[in-house]
Every structure is written in structure tokens, then in C-alpha cells.
């Protein structure tokens, strides 16, 4: 059972849209594998896409799952854990899971969804307080950080591959997800802020280049190492939303080259942080999805299942060009081929 996390602490990198398309395509190409998609971003955009998108009542369907008893979301599971945060609890994972195909026929039937929940933002303060409580003989931080690992352990054997969509932050629930992940998929944009975001990501996750030794004892990596827990390995860096017809635009090429140089340098000094040995194996280019992307996300539809021609999107007829749709499928396939 491999766990892949889509994450970047910088927002606006196309993380959720890439996650949605990659998860659907992976499940489509591997129909015999059981896939679990975990949405742990309080905006719950991935959940809405799986449940129908804007056009097909994804928001309404999500609200219905959030209103179920028990609350069929990651927030519902965390709510179960809050009264007894440091001890195992008895629960059935299926009580919190959703079959997205029953809401959205475009989603492969071998995908199960753990929906997200805006409750995460309210819960995070309580979870952080609990994680920092001092109790002799109890590693309170690790007990909280293990909540998603506990959930996946309870569902052990049901799923072959797990994908997690994370919030662009390093909040307590983001750390909970990262601690459960085996591999990281980092979407980036071709700009200086993405270069800084990559550097920040390695600082946050792996404790590299911290501004002062004072931070080391509190670092995520330090705490996981102390508990003999592995850190997730960087598996793929997706250069997202690159100019459609030209490949990487010349104005951005220097930034992309600098990011690759930064990663190559880190690979030499810290090879254990990566699942690949050559930078060429760890990078993939994702072109701008343009109108095809807008239509696909509005309809909650994977590119491979999207029809070309004129389609209805919120009382408008929008044309999907077949050649562009195929390019979108090819771009996603380049990601899936590395999973």
C-alpha cells in the first residue's frame, strides 16, 4: 500500500486540479487496483470535483455527506478522535468513506473518497493544543500526528494505492497527512515564488537550512526521527501550467533550470529524501489545460472521459477542442506513468 501526497506550501500551483486528474487516470488505467482518495484540505475542492463539480451538484452532494451521521468526512473522523486523543478508538472506516461513482458516473468505480471538511480549520487549534500538552510517558505530538495513519491502518488491505490532497500550509492536519505519506508529488509554477516554495518545503519537511539551531528540536523531521518514523520521499516535481504551444516559455526557462539545479544539489547532499536518482526521472512538464481544464473541472470530469465539441457549463455553450483534450490526457499520463 503506497501513499502519495500532493502538496506544496505555496498556493496556486494547480495542486488539486492535478491531483483530481491524476487520481482518476491512475484508477482508470489500473481497474483492478482499489484506490483511496483522501482530501485533507478544508476548502474541499477535490471532494467537490469527485462528487460532481459545479455543474453536477458537487457542492450539494458534499454538504449531504458532511451532514451524514456520523459525519462522513475527515473532519468527522477527527471529531471522533478529539475526546480521547491519545488512545486508539474503535471505529469503522467505511462510516466516513464515500463512493464518488454513485454521485458522479465519470469517476472510476474503483475509487473511494474520504471527503474533506471546513471543520478542519476549527479542529486544528484544538489538535495543536493537544499535540503540545505535556503528559509523562505519552508522546502527545506523535499520538495526534498518527491519526491518519491509524485510519489507514484500520482500512488495511482494502486499498492498493492511496492519494492525499493537502492544504497549502504546514498546519497540524497537513503534518498529519505528511506523516502518513510515503511519497510527495510537488506541483510548481515557473516563477521565483515556486523556487522559494521548494526551498521552504525542504525546510519544513526535512529540517534543512533552518534559520537557527533553536528550531531544530521542534522540527517535523526531528520529531519523526525521534519516533523512528520515516519521512516521505520526494517522488515527482510537476512543472505545472507551462505555455501550451511553446513548451517552457523562454522567460521562465531560467527559473525552471534554477529549480532543477537546487533539486540536483539537494539530491547530492541528501539522496535519502528522494525516490529518484536522476533529476530527469523526478520532473514532469504539465502544459496549460486552458479551456479544456475549465470545462473538465466545472463538470467534475476526467480529461479521458470528457467529450469534445460544445458542452454546457453554467448556461453557456463552451467548445472543447479534441486535439487540446488529447494533449491534456497526454500530460496527465506523463504524471501517472511515474506513479
Domain hosting residue 62, numbered range: 2-336
The stretch 30-49 carries a mean pLDDT of 97
Whichever domain contains 247, its CATH number is 3.40.50.300
Name the grid cell of 40: 485533507
Domain count, the chain: 1
pLDDT of residue 195: 73
Cβ atoms within 10 Å of 216's Cβ, excluding its own: 11
Q: What is the tens place of the pLDDT at every residue in 106-128?
A: 999 999 999 999 999 999 999 99
pLDDT of residue 245: 44
pLDDT of residue 248: 54
CB 76 within 8 A of CB 70: yes
Percent of the chain exceeding pLDDT 70 equals: 93
Cα–Cα distance, 177 to 245 (Å, whole number): 36
Q: What is the tens place of the pLDDT at every residue in 167-200?
A: 998 999 999 999 999 999 999 886 667 777 788 8
> Does the pLDDT at position 215 exceed 80?
no
Helix (H, G, I), strand (E, B) or coil at 104: coil
Alpha helix stretches (DSSP H) within the chain: 15-29, 45-50, 58-66, 74-81, 119-131, 140-145, 147-154, 172-180, 192-206, 220-226, 250-269, 279-282, 290-299, 322-336
pLDDT of residue 58: 96
Percent of the chain exceeding pLDDT 90 equals: 69
Q: What's the mean pLDDT when you consider all of the chain?
A: 90
Give the residues across from 188 on adjacent strands: 239
Give the residues across from 175 on adjacent strands: none
Amino acid at each position: 500500500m503506497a501513499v502519495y501526497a500532493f502538496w506544496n506550501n505555496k498556493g496556486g500551483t494547480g495542486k488539486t486540479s492535478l491531483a483530481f486528474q491524476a487520481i482518476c487516470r491512475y484508477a482508470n488505467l489500473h481497474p483492478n487496483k482499489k484506490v483511496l482518495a483522501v482530501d485533507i484540505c478544508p476548502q474541499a475542492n477535490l471532494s467537490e470535483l469527485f462528487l460532481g463539480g459545479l455543474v453536477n451538484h458537487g457542492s450539494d452532494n458534499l454538504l449531504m455527506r458532511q451532514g451524514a451521521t456520523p459525519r462522513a468526512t475527515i473532519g468527522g473522523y477527527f471529531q471522533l478522535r478529539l475526546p480521547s486523543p491519545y488512545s486508539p478508538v474503535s471505529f469503522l472506516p467505511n462510516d466516513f468513506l464515500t463512493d464518488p461513482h454513485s454521485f458522479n458516473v465519470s469517476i472510476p468505480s474503483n475509487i473511494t473518497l474520504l471527503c474533506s471538511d471546513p471543520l478542519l480549520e476549527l479542529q486544528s487549534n484544538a489538535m495543536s493544543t493537544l499535540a503540545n500538552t505535556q503528559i509523562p510517558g505519552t508522546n502527545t505530538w506523535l499520538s495526534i500526528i498518527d491519526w491518519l495513519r491509524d485510519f489507514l491502518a484500520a482500512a488495511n488491505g482494502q486499498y492498493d494505492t492511496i492519494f492525499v490532497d493537502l492544504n497549502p500550509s504546514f498546519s497540524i492536519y497537513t503534518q498529519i497527512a505528511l506523516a502518513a505519506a510515503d511519497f510527495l508529488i510537488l506541483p510548481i509554477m515557473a516563477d521565483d515564488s515556486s523556487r522559494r516554495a521548494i526551498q521552504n518545503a525542504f525546510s519544513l519537511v526535512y529540517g534543512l537550512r533552518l534559520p537557527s539551531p533553536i528550531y531544530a528540536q521542534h522540527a517535523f523531521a526531528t520529531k519523526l526521527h525521534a519516533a523512528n518514523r520515516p519521512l516521505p520521499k520526494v517522488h515527482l516535481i510537476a512543472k505545472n501550467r507551462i505555455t501550451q504551444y511553446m513548451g517552457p516559455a523562454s522567460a521562465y526557462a531560467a527559473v525552471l533550470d534554477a529549480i532543477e539545479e537546487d533539486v540536483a544539489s539537494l539530491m547530492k547532499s541528501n539522496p535519502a529524501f528522494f525516490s529518484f536518482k536522476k533529476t530527469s526521472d523526478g520532473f514532469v512538464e504539465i502544459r496549460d489545460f486552458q479551456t479544456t481544464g475549465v470545462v473538465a473541472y466545472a463538470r467534475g470530469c476526467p480529461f479521458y472521459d470528457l467529450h469534445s465539441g460544445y458542452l454546457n457549463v453554467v448556461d453557456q455553450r463552451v467548445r472543447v477542442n479534441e486535439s487540446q483534450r488529447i494533449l491534456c490526457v497526454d500530460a496527465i499520463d506523463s504524471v501517472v506513468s511515474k506513479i
